[in-house]
Each structure stands twice: as structure tokens, then as C-alpha cells.
């Protein structure tokens, strides 16, 4: 029976004793071993009562087993919902409840904290650790290493990835099998990946970049990944000579540039460096080339669409641009108010259409209608322009969004929490330049008259409620927030006032 995603990414490797995951401790997981583990997991997921179309939420550390959960979901026809390991239980509870997940996998160390979350959502809780421990892995160990793959159609849902919204409520982007597969096929060819490639994988596997872009391409071509639990400059430098390619957020590149061990010799054997998820400074692009002789290939994508544009493999990889629309992807720049298409050279809203574009937001038909036009164009929220040579430039964001080290942070979510605190009248959350994370979160707060709330007290109130990467790296107090004649807070003025907050 056919299951396009499982067959193309996983089923094709049946019986292959070839290396798939090269681990930092020197161990290797072969394709065949990986598939056997995925099949055991699919058996266990099914035994726990999940049926095709049900959701499985997982907040587990990056490991071969964590990746096998993705494969198991594909094989059992279950919708995979990976969650950022930095999320606190109160953040996680929304995702588990909203998605109606039937099974929730968490790390054994978080079981006590997450048991009430699972219970409130009516989800079964099982644990999965990064070293093969946990109740889910233990029960799965006695399941057979084969599983009858469930039939699926290209339009069936494969994954939900939650993306925060400008109103503060996260939206579950529904991605189909065809969304994921079509994009991986295009990228594999565009970036010339083959079985001979070895990809250095130091990204998290709960977001589009590390999960779909990196992993799906390598599964399609059948080459191995050096599978590091996180970005650690020492480990990356140790493994780079064994790799042919690396994908990273700009922070990977700036951190490596800060390390004297990054030399031309170290990366002589590399074929391709790819950057995305956040803007790569043109300066970083140039420094990287001067130091290593490689021109980073920058591409542009998002949770709802996977990848939309890319600099060319053979042609000119231009710093400060995200290249051309990928084959099969239509991209236009429109007037943000009227939606009318603008001529090249003019700045407007970027809209995209193609087989990569998601189906809509889970149980949010109004939000879906606002952002996904009936004619199939998705309104990205990114402002850009197409230059005379056809290169797409991202020049800003129409949405109030901060991207810190490749993670999205929506100001509204933090403002709502700060405004709830005693002694706070109002607040504005802005993103300001940061040497390591590109942008960092800064809170500008107005106290109630007479209140003495301190930055420490506010910071403490947020910890435990918000993932650390969302917590302001600095909190400043002001008498009042700048507003325009309509009463709207002028964040552009605040961004200017605090642009040097993290410099030097």
C-alpha cells in the first residue's frame, strides 16, 4: 500500500546497512537499524490506540530515537507534532490541548511536571529519553521490528508545527505529505545533494529547518548525517572535516567566525554551507568567504511553506539576498493594503504559492482566510522586493516578530505576561541588534505611578512561564511609551533608542 512520505523518505532504505546517523560518541545508526526502531515505535503508537490522523505531540531531546518518532508517525499515518524543548509546561499545555494530541511523549526528567498537562488535555503521557530509556522506548522494545505501513494520500496531513501569532495565540500549521515531499525533492536537486554527501546536523529537530529541510533531504538521497545534540562549536569543529555540507542559522556562522580554529584547511573538504531562518548579515557572508573560501548559500523559508527561495548553487550567491523562487514556487510582491502586485524594485508584502504551501491553521478558519488567499497565495508577513536581476531581498517584517538565534518570538505574548504583573502599567517588547543572536528581546516597561517594580522581580516573574529564549535579555523602565496620533506604540522609535543596547 502506498504512503508517499514514508515510502520516499524511509521505506526506500529497507534492508540498507548503510550509515544514517553518525553520533558524537562515535556510534553509528544504520538505515536498517533506524527503520527497525521506527517500526517498533509505530507498533507501540498503534497499541496505545492512535489511529491515522490522530496527533502525537513530542517534547523530547534530540536523539536518534526522537527522529525515529517522526518516521513512526509517517509509517502509522499519525500526525507528528514536535515541540521546542525550551518550552515550559505552561506553554506546552496549550499545544497539547489545542492539537487534541492523543499521545504526548516527554523526557523522563519532565514527567512529573508534565503529567498534569497531559491529564488536563486528556492525552496519554509516555516518556522517551535520549539514551533509549523511558516508558515509551521500553514498551516499544518488545514490538516487532517491522510494521505494516499505513496507506496515505499526498494530501493527508503529516505534521503540525505551531507558529506564534501576532495576537499571542499560537497557530498549528497543517503540513501535508505532499508539502514536505515536494519541497525536499526540489531542494535536493537545487542544492545538488547526493548519496555521497555527509551533512553536519547541529540544528534542533522540532522546527522546519532541522527536521524537514535537513533531514528530509538526507533521507531522500540516502547519505549520512553527523547528528549532534545541539550546536557546540567544539563538536562542530571536530566533525567539520568529515562533512561535505552544513545547514545553520546565522548564529552558527558568527560563532564559528569567532573561533580561531575555523580555517580554510578545516573546511577544505566541504561542498556547501547553507544559511537560513533569520537574515544573514552581508558582512558575515563576506567574512566567511574571506576566511574559508566558501560563499554561504542563503535561502528563505518559513514554517507554513517550507522553503520558498534560494540563492543559486552554480550562479552568483549574493550576500544580503535570499535568491530566486524555487522551481514550482511562485513569488510576488504586493501592496500590503490592496494586495495588488507591485513591479520589481518596489518594496511590499511577499506572497508565495506552490505545492509547498500548507493547508491552513488547525481549527482556525478565520486566521487561515486572513493569511491564505483563495487563489492559493500565502501572505508571508515578510516585506521584500525583487531586484532587476530577479533576486529576492527581505527588507523587513510586516508582522511584529523578533527572530533571536533563529527562534521566533512574538512580542504580544510577552507583553501580555508583563502587563499582568503588579506595578506594571504597560510594556513594549522589541527586537534589537545582538552580536550573537542577531536580534535579542528587550522589554520597555512603564510602571504604575508610585510602583517600584524592579527588572529582577519582573524577570523572575517571567521565568517558569516563558521559554528562556523568549525572556527579555534586558528590561528598561521609561515614563511613557512613544505613541502616534492613533495611539499606537511606535516601536520603530524604541528600536532606534535602544539599538546599541547590546553593542560592545
Q: Which entry of ligand AMP, ligand MLC, none binds 210, CB below 5 to 8 A by partner kind?
A: ligand MLC
CA angle, 112 then 99 then 141, to 5°: 55
Among 174, 322, 418, 489, binds ligand AMP (CB under 6 A): 322
DSSP per residue over 199-221, as a string? EEE-S-SSSIIIIIIIIIHHHHH
**Cβ nearer to ligand AMP, comparing 19 with 381:** 381
Q: Which entry of ligand AMP, ligand MLC, none binds 468, CB below 5 to 8 A by partner kind?
A: ligand MLC
Q: Select the span of 183-191, 215-223, 402-410, 417-425 touching ligand MLC (CB under 6 A).
A: 402-410
State which H helix or E strand residue 300 sits in: strand 297-302
Applying CB under 6 A, what is the total number of residues that bind ligand AMP? Answer: 19
Residue 72 CA to residue 446 CA, distance in Å, equals 49
285, three cell numbers:
557572508
Question: What's the min distance (Å) between Cβ of 37 and ligand MLC?
Answer: 24
Residue 231 CA to residue 248 CA, distance in Å, equals 9
**Cβ nearer to ligand AMP, comparing 301 with 472:** 301
Q: Which entry of ligand MLC, ligand AMP, none binds 89, CB below 5 to 8 A by partner kind?
A: none
**Cβ nearer to ligand MLC, comparing 37 with 308:** 308
- Show Cβ contacts of residue 245 under 8 Å, excluding neighbours closer than 6 positions: 191, 193, 197, 198, 199, 200, 270, 271, 272, 273, 274
Question: What's the min distance (Å) between Cβ of 305 and ligand AMP?
Answer: 8
What sign results for the dihedral spanned by CA atoms 253, 258, 264, 265? negative
Residue 210 CA to residue 233 CA, distance in Å, equals 17
Residue 502 CA to residue 433 CA, distance in Å, equals 7
Question: What's the min distance (Å) between Cβ of 251 and ligand AMP?
Answer: 13
62 touches ligand MLC (CB under 6 A): no
Question: What's the min distance (Å) between Cβ of 170 and ligand MLC?
Answer: 14
- Show Cβ contacts of residue 93 under 8 Å, excluding neighbours closer than 6 positions: 117, 120, 121
371 touches ligand AMP (CB under 6 A): no
**Cβ nearer to ligand AMP, comparing 129 with 279:** 279
301 touches ligand MLC (CB under 6 A): yes
Residue 429 CA to residue 41 CA, distance in Å, equals 42
Q: Which entry of ligand MLC, ligand AMP, none binds 469, CB below 5 to 8 A by partner kind?
A: ligand MLC
Question: What's the min distance (Å) between Cβ of 250 and ligand AMP?
Answer: 8
406 touches ligand MLC (CB under 6 A): yes
Q: Which entry of ligand MLC, ligand AMP, none binds 231, CB below 5 to 8 A by partner kind?
A: ligand MLC
Contact by Cβ (8 Å): 424, 458: yes
413 touches ligand AMP (CB under 6 A): no
174 touches ligand AMP (CB under 6 A): no
405 touches ligand MLC (CB under 6 A): yes
209 touches ligand MLC (CB under 6 A): yes
What sign results for the dihedral spanned by CA atoms 233, 234, 237, 243? negative
- Show Cβ contacts of residue 451 under 8 Å, excluding neighbours closer than 6 positions: 422, 423, 424
Residue 10 CA to residue 72 CA, distance in Å, equals 10
Question: What's the min distance (Å) between Cβ of 166 and ligand AMP?
Answer: 12
170 touches ligand AMP (CB under 6 A): no
31-61 residues labelled b (16+ CB within 10 A) or e (exposed): bbbbbbbbbbbbbbbbebebeeebbbbbbbb
Contact by Cβ (8 Å): 288, 281: no
Among 275, 277, 334, 380, binds ligand MLC (CB under 6 A): 277
Question: What's the min distance (Å) between Cβ of 172 and ligand AMP?
Answer: 12
358 touches ligand MLC (CB under 6 A): no
**Cβ nearer to ligand MLC, comparing 10 with 469:** 469
What sign results for the dihedral spanned by CA atoms 232, 237, 241, 244? positive
Question: What's the min distance (Å) between Cβ of 425 and ligand MLC?
Answer: 26
Interface residues with ligand AMP (CB under 6 A)? 163, 208, 276-279, 298, 300-303, 322, 380-382, 394, 397, 403, 408
Interface residues with ligand MLC (CB under 6 A)? 203-204, 207-210, 230-231, 249, 251, 276-277, 301-303, 404-407, 437, 468-469
Amino acid at each position: 500500500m502506498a504512503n508517499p512520505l514514508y515510502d520516499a523518505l524511509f521505506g526506500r532504505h529497507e534492508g540498507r546497512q548503510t550509515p544514517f546517523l553518525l553520533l558524537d560518541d562515535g556510534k553509528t545508526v544504520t538505515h536498517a537499524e533506524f527503520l527497525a526502531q521506527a517500526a517498533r515505535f509505530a507498533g507501540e503508537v498503534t497499541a496505545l490506540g492512535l489511529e491515522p490522523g490522530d496527533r502525537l505531540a513530542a517534547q523530547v531531546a534530540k536523539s536518534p530515537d526522537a527522529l525515529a518518532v517522526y518516521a513512526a508517525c509517517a509509517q502509522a499515518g499519525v500526525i507528528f507534532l514536535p515541540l521546542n524543548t525550551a518550552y515550559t509546561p505552561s506553554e506546552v499545555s496549550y499545544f497539547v490541548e489545542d492539537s487534541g494530541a492523543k499521545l504526548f511523549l516527554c523526557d523522563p526528567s519532565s514527567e512529573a511536571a508534565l503529567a498534569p498537562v497531559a491529564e488536563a488535555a486528556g492525552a496519554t503521557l509516555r516518556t522517551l529519553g535520549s539514551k533509549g530509556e523511558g516508558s515509551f522506548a521500553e514498551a516499544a522494545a518488545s514490538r516487532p521490528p517491522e510494521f505494516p505501513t499505513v496507506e496515505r494520500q499526498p494530501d493527508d496531513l503529516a505534521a503540525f508545527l505551531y507558529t506564534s501569532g501576532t495576537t499571542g495565540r499560537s497557530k498549528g500549521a497543517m503540513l501535508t505529505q505532499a508539502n514536505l515531499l515536494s519541497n525536499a525533492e526540489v531542494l535536493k536537486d537545487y542544492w545538488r545533494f547526493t548519496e555521497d554527501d555527509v551533512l553536519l546536523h547541529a540544528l534542533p529537530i522540532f522546527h522546519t529547518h532541522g527536521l524537514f529541510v535537513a533531514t528530509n533531504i538526507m533521507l531522500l538521497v540516502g547519505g549520512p548525517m553527523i547528528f549532534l545534540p545541539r550546536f557546540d562549536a567544539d563538536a562542530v569543529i571536530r566533525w567539520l572535516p568529515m562533512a561535505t555540507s552544513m545547514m545553520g542559522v546565522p548564529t552558527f556562522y558568527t560563532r564559528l567566525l569567532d573561533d580561531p580554529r575555523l580555517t580554510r584547511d578545516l573546511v577544505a573538504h566541504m561542498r556547501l554551507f547553507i544559511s537560513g531562518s533569520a537574515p544573514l548579515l552581508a558582512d558575515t557572508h563576506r567574512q566567511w568567504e574571506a576566511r574559508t573560501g566558501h560563499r554561504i548559500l542563503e535561502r528563505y523559508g518559513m514554517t507554513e511553506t517550507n522553503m520558498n527561495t534560494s540563492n543559486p548553487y552554480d550562479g552568483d550567491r549574493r550576500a544580503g539576498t535570499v535568491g530566486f523562487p524555487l522551481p514550482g514556487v511562485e513569488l510576488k510582491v504586493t501592496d500590503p493594503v490592496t494586495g495588488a502586485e507591485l513591479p520589481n524594485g518596489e518594496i511590499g508584502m511577499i506572497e508565495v504559492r506552490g505545492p509547498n504551501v500548507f493547508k491552513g491553521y488547525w481549527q482556525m478558519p478565520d486566521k487561515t482566510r486572513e493569511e491564505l488567499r483563495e487563489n492559493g497565495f500565502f501572505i508571508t508577513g515578510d516585506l521584500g522586493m525583487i531586484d532587476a536581476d530577479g533576486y529576492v531581498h527581505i527588507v523587513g517584517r510586516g508582522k511584529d516578530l523578533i527572530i533571536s538565534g533563529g527562534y521566533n518570538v512574538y512580542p504580544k505574548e510577552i507583553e501580555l505576561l508583563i502587563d499582568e504583573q503588579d506595578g506594571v502599567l504597560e510594556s513594549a517588547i522589541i527586537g534589537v541588534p545582538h552580536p550573537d543572536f542577531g536580534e535579542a528581546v528587550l522589554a520597555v516597561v512603564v510602571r504604575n505611578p508610585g510602583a517600584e517594580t524592579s527588572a529582577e522581580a519582573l524577570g523572575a516573574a517571567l521565568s517558569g512561564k516563558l521559554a528562556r529564549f523568549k525572556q527579555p535579555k534586558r528590561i528598561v523602565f521609561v515614563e511613557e511609551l512613544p505613541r502616534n496620533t492613533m495611539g499606537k506604540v511606535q516601536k520603530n522609535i524604541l528600536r532606534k533608542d535602544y539599538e546599541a543596547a547590546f553593542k560592545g
